Homo-oligomer: A and B are copies of this chain.
Amino acid sequence: MIPVITISREFGSGGHTIGEQVAKSLSIPFYDGEIVNQTAVESGYCKELIEEQGETTSSASKWFDISAASTMYFQSPQDEIFLAQRKVILDAANKGPCVIVGRCSDYILKKAGIYCLNVLIHADIKHREERVLKRYPDVNRDIDIAKRIERKDKRRRTFYRYYTDRHWGKYENYDLALDSGTLGEDTCVHIICELAEKMNR
């Protein structure tokens, strides 16, 4: 069986597209936006709130302790969303090989002892700006795109730190880290697929 592939990514690095292509090429399910839909069903919260809260947090003052979650009398909507999302991720991975993008999936699946290939996709700000402008051609170009990218990444990192008590982007947490800017998306897809097939056991 090939491993579950988690993709952590910088905003605008093409991690979503790369993950989608990998899943297509290996004929396995792909989870990114789909996690939002399933978390909505699981938690009862609406999709818009999950999209906003499912990867970002404004609470940076404490760490969330998963192991103590069941003993808490009160959970914030954000924590409830995280726990529902965590369940969706674990259910998906337990069904068999798939590609899961972001949402602390690397940490959640490692904790659960699930066989994974953890990948980080990054690129320099120039490449990410270009990709964002190409993907969202209607974006208001008066806004400083680089600043928006940085803000998005900062919120995702805070979310990761809050729910895992680990720093996002440390090389130790990934089997493979790829610069999609210098290597190109197709090469990234090729390396990940080849590796996943090699890890077939």
Contact = CB atoms under 8 A, between A and B. Distances in A.
A171 B124 CA distance: 11
A171 B171 contact: yes
A176 B195 CA distance: 14
Specify how many copies of this chain sit in the oligomer.
2
Interface in A151-201: 169, 171-172, 174-179, 182-183, 187, 191, 194-195, 198
A16 interface: no
Contacts of A171: 120, 122, 169, 171, 177
A198 B187 CA distance: 9
Interface residues of A, number: 19
A122 B174 CA distance: 10
A167 to B, nearest CB: 11
A120 B124 CA distance: 17
A191 B191 CA distance: 7
Contacts of A179: 174-176
Contacts of A124: 172
**3 closest A-B pairs (Cβ-Cβ)?**
A177-B177, A175-B179, A175-B182
